[in-house]
Amino acid sequence: TVKGAKVLLVEDNTMNQQVALELLEHSGVQVFVAENGKEAVELISGTPFDLVLMDIQM
């Protein structure tokens, strides 16, 4: 089960960010959003995540 998992979503496109955020939240996971690689590194250094979903073309 994924409920309660901590997921880091790294996405710079606002529309893609919203779609992914809604899908993930509907699954019951706790979602953290970063808009770029720098924000992602800052979040990862302070929080243990179960999954990182990252846009490959940022």
What is the structure's pLDDT at 36?
95
Nearest-5° Cα angle at 14, 2 to 29: 10
Question: The pTM is what?
Answer: 0.89
The model's pLDDT over 6-55, given as tens digits with 9 standing for 90+, comes to 999 999 999 999 999 999 999 999 999 999 999 999 999 999 999 999 98
What DSSP state is assigned to residue 56? S
Domains of the chain: 6-54 (3.40.50.2300)
Please list the residues that pair with 52 across neighbouring strands.
8
